[in-house]
Amino acid sequence: MRKKLSRQFIDILARLKMKDCVFCRIVKKELPCYEIYEDKDFLAFLDIRPLNPGHTLVIPKKHYRWVWDVRNIKNYAAVVRKVANAIRKAMKTEWVISLVIGEAVPHAHIWLVPRYKNDGHPAGWLDMNNVKKLSEKEMRNIAGKIKKFL
């Protein structure tokens, strides 16, 4: 009984947190995004603070705090793979870094960041302060290019 109550309490807390979650609001179409991919379980969209053109976030539509909490992780990985390959082709690069950080937004998400020669980031890593300033038009164009390869 105690275990069941604590599970219910955790579920209630999670639902309360989801109301304020920016990614949950994007999923519900309350906030706009530069969408790359969507199916019944997952959504991929361009990061509004891109470390490079094509920087994409892949999230589960259902709110999970951490990537490793996602129950259908195999399907999640398949979507991440599909989107990463589309980024590689669209952005004409062989190098797409995937990162699981999860500190800025408390909703499971995987970063896909294409790398380019002389992109201003150190070899083998990313300078988190090296955010690229892209116009709305550039963001829409990049999203459209990536979508063509999905």
With 0-12 / 13-18 / 19 or more C-beta atoms within 10 angstroms meaning exposed / middle / buried, residue 13 is exposed
- What letters, b where the CB count within 10 A reaches 16 and e where it falls short, cover 97-114? beeeebeeebbbbbbbbb
Element containing residue 87 per DSSP (H, E):
helix 73-90
* Catalytic hit among 55, 63, 109, 121: 109
Q: Is 109 a catalytic residue?
A: yes
Residues 6+ away with beta carbon under 8 Å from 61: 27, 40, 41, 42, 43
Give catalytic residues, as residue numbers: 109
